[in-house]
Amino acid sequence: MAFILAACSNPHSHVADHFQAEALACLVAVTFAKDLDFTRVIIEGDSLTIIKKRASEAIDVSLVSPTVADIKEVAKVFQDAGFNFVHREANVAAHTLAQEGKMYNGPMYWIEEAPPRSTFAAEKDREQLVHV
């Protein structure tokens, strides 16, 4: 069974493209983990571009570079921070949570739980990863 330590949904308006949306989601995730005083995190996302930019030391002049710089800065607080690419098929929980978040007018945070549909999707994601 999947156990979710924390989950959040934070709607953003005026997002230019899916790269910016993925970068903002990553920034919200690391900031939430920092606010919860987590020392070790694994952030998973299905945007390989954002994962690579976060790991790169090269100067980035893309539209997402300020957000990626913020991600790098916030992530410095962790003893260990992994940023992993996962295929969309194994990242259904994140998309389910995003859909769930559309039902609220503002940010939503869950501690040691998540909405039931997201928890179910997380279990399916875990099974998908185990069978790969």
pLDDT in tens, 81-120: 999 888 877 778 887 888 888 888 888 888 887 887 787 8
Neighbours of 22 (CB within 10 A): 21
Q: What is the pLDDT of residues 14-27, one digit of tens each?
A: 888 888 988 999 99
Please tell me the pTM assigned to this model.
Answer: 0.83
Q: Which residue has the higher pLDDT, 10 or 30?
A: 30
pLDDT higher at 119 or 70: 70
CA 6 to CA 4: how far, in whole Å?
6
User: What confidence category does residue 129 fall into, taking pLDDT thresholds of 50, 70 and 90?
Assistant: low
Assigned CATH class of 6-130? alpha beta
